[in-house]
Amino acid sequence: MIYLNLLSPQKKEDLEQSFIFAILGNMAETMLIIIILSSIILLSAKVMLQNNFEVIIAQSTLINREFGKINQDIRKLNRELKDIDQVQTEYVFWSRFLTEFSKTVPPGIRLADLSINQDNNTFVINGYAAERANFLEFKKNLGNFPFLKNLESPIANLLLPRNANFTFSASLNLPKP
């Protein structure tokens, strides 16, 4: 097949340039459409992310407020537990002490005064002994009493054989709970 070209070379060149410009124009339009679509997608993604970020911030603020209150309650409870623990570590089972102490008092002994100072760790007792033997037995029992140490008794406690007033002092040796 024979092609017949009736155009002049100048026109031919102009036509080729027009064709190249048309192709370049189409490519530019396509690129512009792609860029615009990408921009729309990125812009909508940015808006969605911004909204999600604001929702997350609002939720975390609520959570922080709620947990802040819970943390304050926990701190308060911990302080109370520390106070309770301190009371329990300083607590002395006086009922056990007094029950065991009452077993050391023999017949013929009357107690007039019993002073216990836990802060100074001292124990002082005053009383009356019907017989010296009762006094000596009581002294022996107190010496063997596990909650007392360093038992002291004035020599004057031994002078009267009957109807004697006595005094004992000692240091407390109390067990911890």
Burial-class residue 27 by CB neighbours within 10 Å (0-12, 13-18, 19+).
Answer: exposed
Q: What is the pLDDT of residue 3?
A: 76
- Tokens representing residue 155 in the block: 């020599």
Q: What are the C-alpha distances in Å from 20 to residues 5, 7, 16?
A: 19, 18, 6
| Gap between the Cα atoms of 95 and 112, Å rounded | 19
Q: What is the pLDDT of residue 63?
A: 77
The stretches in the chain having pLDDT less than 70 are 175-177
Class of domain 108-172: alpha beta
Domain boundaries, the chain: 12-90, 108-172
